[in-house]
Amino acid sequence: GESVGLHLPTLSVQEGDNSIINCAYSNSASDYFIWYKQESGKGPQFIIDIRSNMDKRQGQRVTVLLNKTVKHLSLQIAATQPGDSAVYFCAENWAGNQFYFGTGTSLTVIP
């Protein structure tokens, strides 16, 4: 399943499928990006980050892709599990330690 961020803030996927969550960031000067996962009643949890000198970074079951030309960031989750159900935020940084969060996408995994 795939979301388009601001235009589709919810995403439902079948357990075991791959998920793609998209984010259109705002500032072409942004040089550092983080994906956060926020479960209900909890604070945001760091998932993966990427700097602007890279276009891809992989973690455990997650991959972040950065396309600076169109100011687009995506988070790919492989073999989505029920525990992946949460709201996912992208955050961009262009001014020291100030982060600006995107709208968020709510991911629901169907068992």
Partner 1 sequence: DTEVTQTPKHLVMGMTNKKSLKCEQHMGHRAMYWYKQKAKKPPELMFVYSYEKLSINESVPSRFSPECPNSSLLNLHLHALQPEDSALYLCASSQDPDTETQYFGPGTRLLVL
Residues lying near partner 1 in the complex (CB under 8 A): 32, 34, 36, 41-46, 49, 89, 93, 96-104
Minimum distance between the CB of residue 23 and partner 1, rounded to whole angstroms?
11
Minimum distance between the CB of residue 101 and partner 1, rounded to whole angstroms?
3
Q: Please identify, using beta-carbon distances, which residue of 32 and 54 lies nearer to partner 1.
A: 32
First to last CA, the chain: 14
**Residue labelled with tokens 């919810």:** 10
Minimum distance between the CB of residue 80 and partner 1, rounded to whole angstroms?
21
Minimum distance between the CB of residue 16 and partner 1, rounded to whole angstroms?
27
Q: Please identify, using beta-carbon distances, which residue of 13 and 90 lies nearer to partner 1.
A: 90
> 3-state DSSP call for residue 37?
strand
Q: Please identify, using beta-carbon distances, which residue of 4 and 18 lies nearer to partner 1.
A: 4
Question: CA-CA distance, 28 to 36, in Å (whole number)?
Answer: 20
Question: Token pair for residue 49?
Answer: 């980050």
Question: CA-CA distance, 1 to 107, in Å (whole number)?
Answer: 10
Question: CA-CA distance, 73 to 25, in Å (whole number)?
Answer: 7
Q: Please identify, using beta-carbon distances, which residue of 65 and 100 lies nearer to partner 1.
A: 100
